């Protein structure tokens, strides 16, 4: 009897202004389902969030660009024995889409994803949330760190105050304005007519910074008829979806989606 095909590994891709610790519970969940899981750190973001905040605004994180972050994942994936599944949140969802363009993964999940170049919607909460991160009138040599008030509005809206504070203390980290601006550059371009591995978009119904309408517009841009591109909006999820009380339900949804598309190592 032939041996069963091994499950591919999962590489979790972190978003901006947080650390890879945002994936800790998700890694435990998927390891429990038989997956080998990784969550590589962005450059200069290996330390706990509190330590990284002490380095702001003169953190070496300010040196990062989109290409530097993408390179972390392309190089990490290259040393794996087989193509993995890639699951990314927020800016990490953009990285997922860029990795699928490189044919570097067997499947991708973009959770509350930042969009590739050219995908836009008219939305005031998006503008209010993202504009400070771009730092248009400040030096690129310094980092951006969301204030707690910005965190409450753009990321953790709808959560209890104690949870908002807990997640800020545990996860909030300085970010490179160069990296954020990279989402508006040619480095963030996607060929939407190109064949790609199965791709699932998950949007948060209460997300202010990457609203569901933006994720839906991103999904609709994909045009290759023979490639799987799915979309689901999850009611009540803010941008802190990974840590909301519903996170296990959302992780289980992804698990079922992977099974439904028989994702295997290649």
> Which residues lie across from 200 on neighbouring strands?
109, 230
Q: Is 121 exposed, middle or buried (0-12, 13-18, 19+ CB in 10 A)?
A: middle
φ/ψ of 109, rounded to 5, equals -125, 120
φ/ψ of 92, rounded to 5, equals -65, -25
- Give the pLDDT confidence of 196-238 residue by residue, as tens digits: 999 999 999 999 999 999 999 999 999 999 999 999 999 999 9
Distance CA 222, CA 29 (A): 30
Distance CA 176, CA 225 (A): 37
CA distances from 191 to 85, 119, 152 (A): 20, 12, 35
pLDDT at 264 over 90: no
At residue 7 the predicted structure's pLDDT band, cuts being 50, 70 and 90, is: confident
Q: In the predicted model, what is the mean pLDDT of the chain? A: 96
The mean pLDDT value for 177-190 works out to 97
Give the 3-state secondary structure of residue 110: strand
pLDDT at 3 over 80: no
* Closest alpha carbon to 136 in 187, 190, 172, 184: 184
Q: Is 59 exposed, middle or buried (0-12, 13-18, 19+ CB in 10 A)?
A: buried
Residue 108 near residue 199, CB atoms below 8 Å: yes
pLDDT at 60 over 90: yes
Please work out, in degrees rounded to the nearest 5, the angle formed at the alpha carbon of residue 12 by the alpha carbons of 82 and 264.
35
For domain 44-260, give the fold: Rossmann fold (3.40.50)
> What is the distance of C-alpha 95 from the center of its chain?
7
The mean pLDDT value for 76-94 works out to 98
At residue 4 the predicted structure's pLDDT band, cuts being 50, 70 and 90, is: low
The mean pLDDT value for 109-134 works out to 96
φ/ψ of 134, rounded to 5, equals -75, -25
CB atoms within 10 A of CB 153: 16
Residue 255 near residue 153, CB atoms below 8 Å: no
């Amino acid at each position: 009897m032939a041996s069963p095909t091994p499950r591919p590994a999962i590489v979790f891709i972190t978003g901006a202004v947080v650390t890879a610790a945002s994936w800790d519970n998700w890694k435990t969940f998927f390891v429990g389902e038989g997956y080998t899981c990784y969550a590589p750190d962005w450059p200069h973001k290996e330390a706990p969030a509190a330590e990284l905040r002490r380095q702001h605004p003169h953190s070496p994180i300010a040196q990062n660009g989109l290409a530097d972050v993408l390179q972390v994942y392309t190089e990490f994936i290259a040393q794996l024995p087989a193509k993995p599944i890639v699951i990314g949140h927020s800016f990490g969802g953009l990285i997922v889409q860029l990795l699928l363009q490189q044919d570097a993964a067997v499947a991708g999940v973009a959770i509350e994803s930042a969009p590739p170049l050219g995908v836009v919607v008219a939305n005031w909460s998006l503008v209010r949330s993202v504009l400070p991160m771009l730092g248009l009138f400040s030096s690129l040599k310094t980092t951006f760190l969301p204030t707690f008030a910005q965190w409450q509005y753009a990321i953790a809206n709808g959560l209890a105050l104690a949870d908002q504070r807990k997640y800020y203390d545990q996860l909030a980290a300085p970010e490179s304005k160069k990296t954020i601006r990279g989402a508006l550059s040619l480095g963030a371009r996607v060929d939407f007519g190109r064949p790609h591995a199965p791709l699932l978009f998950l949007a948060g119904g209460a997300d202010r910074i990457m609203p569901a309408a933006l994720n839906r517009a991103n999904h609709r841009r994909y045009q290759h008829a023979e490639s799987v591109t799915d979309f689901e909006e999850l009611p009540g999820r803010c941008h802190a979806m990974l840590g909301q009380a519903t996170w296990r339900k959302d992780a289980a949804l992804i698990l079922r989606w992977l099974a439904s598309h028989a994702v295997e190592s290649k």
